[in-house]
Amino acid sequence: MELAEGKQKFIEAWGRIGSEWGINRTMAQVHALLLISPDALTTEEVMDELNISRGNANMTLRDLINWGLIEKQHKPGERKEYFAADKDIWNVARQVAKERKKRELEPMLKVLKELSTVEGDKNDKAYATFNKSVTDINKLANNADSMIDTMLKAEESWFWGSVLKIFK
Amino acid sequence: MELAEGKQKFIEAWGRIGSEWGINRTMAQVHALLLISPDALTTEEVMDELNISRGNANMTLRDLINWGLIEKQHKPGERKEYFAADKDIWNVARQVAKERKKRELEPMLKVLKELSTVEGDKNDKAYATFNKSVTDINKLANNADSMIDTMLKAEESWFWGSVLKIFK
DNA sequence: TTTTATTTTCAATAATATTTGAAAGTTTAG
DNA sequence: CTAAACTTTCAAATATTATTGAAAATAAAA
């Protein structure tokens, strides 16, 4: 396969995966484009490569910065802003885990904690069932939370080494 | 907090989490409702509890069955169908992991494998950058795939016991 | 200061996804 | 068989989300 075709496929695939995970397609595509670009790109270049409007490109680039996945750069003597992705995939994975933990897992844990204070009669089937589900999900979510904390601190080789060693 | 209020909050929270993960809100809410129901419910009951239409309830219940999260039940002498959720949260987690692996991770791995066959000159920066990203993502995705395979086979206590032991 | 290059905003529009509800389909009981 | 109970389908309506593009804001250069 030719490089040009490969690029297209990569951008498309990354966009599809993104939207299956609640990340908007354009955002994932811009990220993909920057991941495979050796040099930082301008807003204009992103617009042209992906055929999107200026407004869209601007907002999407800002979102990617907020997710900690890309950064603004400036070239000496130039006025335009350039954008470059963090190319370390392990950093990308950690950054995404970190953001989703903050945006989703933590609020969920807060709700679950609150819900585990619901009082009731243990002989009431409705209460017992509610309580069991809430408690069990709470435990699972806390385990996931701990695992993510470790992942955030870990080096890639160490993390997968340790995890996969057990799983042989 | 009262049980009734707790139920509402749980259904709402589960629905929100679901939609952040690309699962439609109603589907997550119906799942939540069944998770905390001691008894199997009919389509009619689901419609009433969540204020949704018959068509919506029917399609959503079917989707949940396809995800392996709930099952149809029949009561002797009754004509109606009843629906009950698998209450084992570890099963739920595994089932979701299994489906997403099949629907998303595996197709992604296929594309990445294809993309790693793109030929080019190692001194070409564009090719080198493309190749590095594709290769690195491929490795990460394969590790994730192995981890999910293990999770699918594992008992909950064993899985978290092993994982969290390392992560102290 | 004025001009020009560049970025940001946001109301309007377009695209996508979800939901409804009524009709058609199916199954069981009489 | 026919009627009643129940389930499924799907085109149309709604709701949600993403995108555009042009005007406003900002910042550097002249």
pLDDT at A163: 79
* Interchain CB distance below 8 Å, B140 and A38: no
Flag whether pLDDT at A35 surpasses 90: yes
B161 touches chain A (CB under 8 A): no
Please state whether beta strands A81-85 and A70-74 pair in parallel, antiparallel, or not at all (unpaired).
Answer: antiparallel
Query: What is the total count of domains within chain A?
Result: 2
When pLDDT is cut at 50, 70 and 90, the band that residue B22 belongs to is confident
Q: Quick one: what percent of chain B has pLDDT higher than 90? A: 90
b (16+ CB within 10 A) / e for A115-130? beebeeeeeeebbebb
pLDDT at A105: 95
Closest CA to B85 of B10, B16, B3: B10
Flag whether pLDDT at A1 surpasses 60: yes
**One domain for residues B62 and B8:** yes
**One domain for residues B106 and B120:** yes
Mean pLDDT of A1-29: 94
Please state, in angstroms and rounded to a whole number, the distance separating the CA atoms of residues B24 and B52.
14
Q: What are phi and psi of A87, to 5 degrees?
A: -90, -5
pLDDT at B164: 77
How many helical (H) and strand (E) elements, i.e. helices and strands, does chain B have?
8, 3
User: Domain holding A53: CATH number?
Assistant: 1.10.10.10
Q: For all residues of chain B together, what is the average pLDDT?
A: 95
**Residues of chain B with C-beta less than 8 angstroms from the C-beta of A40:** none
**One domain for residues B100 and B53:** no
Please state, in angstroms and rounded to a whole number, the distance separating the CA atoms of residues B7 and B143.
38
pLDDT at A167: 60
Count the neighbouring beta carbons within 10 Å of the beta carbon of residue A35: 25
Mean pLDDT of B148-167: 86
**One domain for residues A65 and A41:** yes
Flag whether pLDDT at B88 surpasses 80: yes
Instruction: Kindly report, residue by residue over A56-96, the tens digit of the pLDDT.
Output: 999 999 999 999 999 999 999 999 999 999 999 999 999 99
| Strand runs labelled E in B16-135 | 41-42, 70-74, 81-85
Mean pLDDT of B1-16: 96
Instruction: Tell me which H or E stretch contains A42.
Output: strand A41-42
In Å, what is the separation between the CA of B53 and the C1' of D14? 13
When pLDDT is cut at 50, 70 and 90, the band that residue A165 belongs to is confident
**One domain for residues B24 and B75:** yes
Please state, in angstroms and rounded to a whole number, the distance separating the CA atoms of residues A106 and A112.
10
Please state, in angstroms and rounded to a whole number, the distance separating the CA atoms of residues A29 and B163.
33
Note which residues in 4-33 of chain B have CB less than 8 A from chain A.
Answer: 5-7, 9-10, 13, 17, 19-22
**One domain for residues A65 and A9:** yes
Flag whether pLDDT at A168 surpasses 70: no
SS3 of residue A163 by DSSP: helix
Flag whether pLDDT at A53 surpasses 60: yes
pLDDT at B167: 61
Instruction: Tell me which H or E stretch contains A73.
Output: strand A70-74
Is residue B16 within 8 A of residue A129, CB to CB? The reply is: no
Closest CA to B142 of B113, B99, B103: B113
Distance of alpha carbon B39 from its chain centroid, rounded? 23
Last residue of a domain, one of A42, A63, A85: A85
Any residues with CB less than 8 A from the CB of A54 and at least 6 apart, and which?
A43, A47
Instruction: Kindly report, residue by residue over B101-120, the tens digit of the pLDDT.
Output: 999 999 999 999 999 999 99
Flag whether pLDDT at A47 surpasses 80: yes
**One domain for residues B65 and B116:** no
**One domain for residues B13 and B56:** yes
**One domain for residues B72 and B114:** no
Last residue of a domain, one of B64, B85, B106: B85
Q: Domain range for residue B108?
A: 89-166
Count the neighbouring beta carbons within 10 Å of the beta carbon of residue A165: 10
Measured CA to CA in angstroms, residue B123 lies from B113, B127, B128, B131 at distances of 22, 8, 7, 12
Instruction: Kindly report, residue by residue over B28-83, the tens digit of the pLDDT.
Output: 999 999 999 999 999 999 999 999 999 999 999 999 999 999 999 999 999 999 99
Is residue B14 within 8 A of residue B50, CB to CB? The reply is: no
* Interchain CB distance below 8 Å, B20 and A104: yes
Mean pLDDT of B13-31: 94
**Residues of chain A with C-beta less than 8 angstroms from the C-beta of B163:** 143, 147, 163, 166
Flag whether pLDDT at B168 surpasses 60: no
Distance of alpha carbon A24 from its chain centroid, rounded? 11
Instruction: Kindly report, residue by residue over A90-110, the tens digit of the pLDDT.
Output: 999 999 999 999 999 999 999
**One domain for residues A73 and A104:** no
**One domain for residues A68 and A119:** no
Last residue of a domain, one of B66, B85, B104: B85
**Residues of chain B with C-beta less than 8 angstroms from the C-beta of A126:** 3, 36-38
**One domain for residues B22 and B74:** yes
pLDDT at A99: 95
Flag whether pLDDT at B127 surpasses 90: yes
Mean pLDDT of B132-150: 95
Closest CA to B85 of B44, B16, B29: B29
In Å, what is the separation between the CA of A76 and the C1' of D30? 19
